[in-house]
Amino acid sequence: MVRYVFMRLAGLVPVLLGISLVTFILVRLVPCDPAEVYLRLSQIPPTPEMVASVRADLGLDRPLYAQYLDWLWKAAHLDFGVSFATKQPVLAEITRCFPATLQLTLASMALVLLVSLPAGILAALYKDSIFDQFSRLLAFLGASVPNFWLGFLLIYLFSLKLDLLPVLGRGTPAHLALPAATLALSYAATYTRLLRTSMLDCMSADFVLYARARGLRERLVLGRHVLKNALLPVTTAFGMSIGHMLAGSVIVENVFAWPGVGRLCVYSIFNRDYPVIQCYALIMAVIFVTCNLVVDMAYRFLDPRIRLGGGRQ
Amino acid sequence: MKSKPLLKVDNLQVRIAVPGGVVRVLNGVSFQIRAGKVLGLLGESGCGKTVTCLSLAGLFNGPGITVSGNVELNGRSMMDLPAEKMRSVRGRELAMIMQNPMSAFNPLVTVGRHFTETIRSHSPATGREAWQTAMEYLRRAGLPDSGRVMEQYPFQLSGGMLQRVMVAIAMSMRPSVLLADEPTTSLDATLRAQILGQIAHLLRDFKTGALIVSHDLGVIARLADKVAVMYCGYIVEMASVAELFDRPLHPYTRALLSSRAGIKKKRLTPVGGQPPSLLNLGDSCPFFERCAEVERACLNYRMEPEILPGGRMVRCAGYGASKGKVLRGLA
């Protein structure tokens, strides 16, 4: 087990190298001189002399590979440089914004579980009932309505018309409600349907018939035999989406002016704030890979066939 | 003197409404099972053997399905039993062994848990007591290393071992009647004999009545006292094992028996043709098209059972009151 985790973590190294290289190159492909941007952000007119001196300062006059290796060496020591815009260390900027994103994501995840678990179970138990039809419609809408539009609709309805919730910003739990709901809806919709399908699959399994034939109470049949098996694929998918949600909060954060890393990222992209973009991409990669690892670990814990090896179909 | 029947099935009918009509799955199945006696249910795939088992246990239900007729277990009618009562009967008075042991167990739950949850669903036993009981019955079912088996997951055991576990779980409740649906179909020949022996042994020890469903004549011959031959949801012939194998009366039974492999046989003789669709099946004889002994009387025959002297039952026009076929058949 320890060996397995170690191997997986070791596998993280090439992934991160690859990602850092790709973002490094992509960012530099943009037809815009970082030195000029740097000067503009510092309110200094970009004269050719100034640009040349800043290029030398930032090391932009050196060959690309040297720049990359330099960046890599510093990054390995957790020094991701200084933001062009704020002149603060990049890592400090991101860690400052990260709690807000984490809070938003955790709230959304809680919301997703709170909605999709009962809804999925009920939709499966009362298949083709009004409730099932309604959840199907909701899933369809949830999966197809784009985040930003949904965000605006919710702001219009709950903040402007009904005046129940604040429009923008972060602070009270009330501030959290709309962004979390916006981020959660499409996931909740997907998981409701996924759990329903998965439950229905398991309900027609031989072992469920046998459980009933042994005279188990229906609650035990559903809880231990149907749900436990039905949750396996849902767990995998859900774990994968944690990374998606953390990284995917970009749009929602911008719509609701939520001061998280997503908004920092978009702001940095507009400003060509390269060090921040680079660091953001790397951190998201780490989060993604770690989430996958956690999912795989959870799977081993949940499914004895994987834990004990040599599973038979 | 005969004991009272434990299980009495009277005119059991199962219909499934589908777009385009009604599928007549069971058409008036009647039989009785007495303590310690075994009825074998024989027939080809799709004739309603499994449905018979499931509907006896109240497990054949769903949209469009209607089950009618009467089933009495230990003198109590089971047809109008509320769900919770029916549940407490299942597994305790009426135990079941499923067809495919490999898929009948939940892959995420240990064998021990399968066992103890069954015991504890029907008795106030504590976890420890249930565990002890389970170990004892596993040993009786031929799994000496029961402690290890209890802690293993289904995928770690072989099909034969799982089948024994299923037998052990069924018998641990000391049921009145055991329903075994193709208990050995998925096992290889040597194992089959062992497990059949084990089942026979336990049935004898506990005086349990049993319904053994199989398409395997060997299994029926080994375990059953009486055989019911099923075709298209009808029991077309019912007799003691010896009588049936000696002198099969129904043309279908004869065809079935002659399709057996034998040492002296050069070729197998299959039963010709296919069974008819059960969708909108009429009242006339469903074997008509495939029967080698069709006669004029068959056209007007409506599957009334003929009870012959000696108590054998057969559903065939050839054995109607005025027919000489009886004499020919018995000669």
What pLDDT score was predicted for residue A200? 93
Average pLDDT of chain B, as a whole number? 86
Window 112-171 of B: residues touching A by CB (8 A cutoff) are 114, 117-118, 121-122, 153, 155-156, 166, 169
Count CA atoms within 13 Å of residue B136 on its CB side: 10
Residue A174 confidence (pLDDT) above 60: yes
What pLDDT score was predicted for residue B135? 93
Average pLDDT of chain A, as a whole number? 84
What pLDDT score was predicted for residue B328? 55
Distance from the A299 Cα atom to the nearest Cα atom in chain B, whole angstroms: 11
User: pLDDT exceeding 90 applies to what percent of chain B?
Assistant: 37
B186, B192, B195, B201 alpha-carbon torsion, rounded to 10°: 140
What pLDDT score was predicted for residue A312? 45
Q: Which residue has the higher pLDDT, A28 or B139?
A: B139
- Interface check for B176 against chain A (CB to CB < 8 A): the answer is no
Are B167 and B149 in contact, with CB atoms under 8 Å apart? no
Cross-chain Cβ contact B107/A304 below 8 Å: yes
- Interface check for B103 against chain A (CB to CB < 8 A): the answer is yes
Cross-chain Cβ contact B117/A224 below 8 Å: yes
Q: What band does B257 get if pLDDT is binned at 50, 70 and 90? A: confident
Q: What is the pLDDT of residues B22-46, one digit of tens each?
A: 888 999 899 999 988 999 999 888 8
What pLDDT score was predicted for residue B43? 86
Location of structure tokens 């004029």: B296
Distances in whole angstroms, Cα of residue B282 to Cα of each of B12, B80, B302: 17, 28, 9
Residue A313 confidence (pLDDT) above 70: no
Nearest to A255 by CA among A150, A110, A124: A150
- Interface check for A306 against chain B (CB to CB < 8 A): the answer is no
How large is the average pLDDT for residues A298-311? 78
What pLDDT score was predicted for residue B124? 92
How large is the average pLDDT for residues B292-318? 83
Cross-chain Cβ contact A215/B100 below 8 Å: no
Phi, psi values for residue A47, rounded to 5°: -75, 155
Count CA atoms within 13 Å of residue B31 on its CB side: 31
Q: What band does A42 get if pLDDT is binned at 50, 70 and 90? A: confident
- Interface check for A219 against chain B (CB to CB < 8 A): the answer is no
Residue B47 confidence (pLDDT) above 60: yes
Option in B102, B108, B169 nearest A214 (CB) = B169
Q: What is the pLDDT of residues A236-273, one digit of tens each?
A: 888 888 888 887 788 888 888 888 888 888 888 888 88
| B176: exposed, middle or buried (Cβ count in 10 Å: 0-12, 13-18, 19+) | buried
CA pair distance B206, B168, nearest whole angstrom: 12
